[in-house]
Amino acid sequence: MGSRIFSPLAIAALVFSGLAVGPVPHALAAPVAAPAAAVCASSVGPGIPHPANLPAGVPGFHAQWYGQSGYPTLCPGERSTATVAYYNSGSLGWVRGRMGEVAYLGTWGPEPGQDAATPLGGDGGVASPATGWPRYNRIAMQPADYVGPGQVSWFQFTIQAPSTAGFYRSISVR
């Protein structure tokens, strides 16, 4: 037979019900401990694999989402490294350090908005946390000097949970 576990509320109800019928002898009364504070535990979900069919050779500069690390749940102020992969589905290569040809990940979506600062990371500018991003609105730059058509680039970046606990939308990248 399994053991029963009582919550502090159930134990308090048992103690108070004993007081209603009469005093509980001191030797039988057990001290009621205050409930323990919630402990924060961070986690990272499973990675998300790439889609089966990808376009290729689209004229110009184009990218297709390819895969990513799992979504993290972080304790307030904690940092985590994330990875997002993009497939070069265009006809031109991405050249690191060459303006107009280099691939960056940028902020997007309704929160924080296109090219807007986010409380999850940045370069320390525009009230963003200093997490090592190239800019407050540029999450990462392609790590390889050249990413040719049909190749995949794996972008890594650091995010930091705000110091106030709560639910924050993840960063959408484009």
Q: Which among 122, 121, 130, 99 is positioned nearest to 168, based on CA atoms?
A: 121
Residues 66 and 152: beta-carbon distance below 8 Å: yes
Name the pLDDT band for 160 (thresholds 50, 70, 90).
very high
| Cα 126 off chain centre by | 21
pLDDT value for 165: 82
| Structural contact between residues 155 and 105, judged by C-beta atoms closer than 8 angstroms | yes
The pLDDT of residue 22? 38
User: pTM here?
Assistant: 0.72
Architecture of domain 41-174 in CATH? Sandwich (2.60)
Domain ranges of the chain: 41-174
- Confidence at residue 37, expressed as pLDDT on a 0 to 100 scale: 62
pLDDT digits (tens, 9 = 90+) for 115-150: 889 999 999 999 999 999 999 999 999 999 999 999
The whole-chain average pLDDT of the chain stands at 80
pLDDT tens figures, 83-120: 999 999 999 999 999 999 999 999 887 778 888 899 99
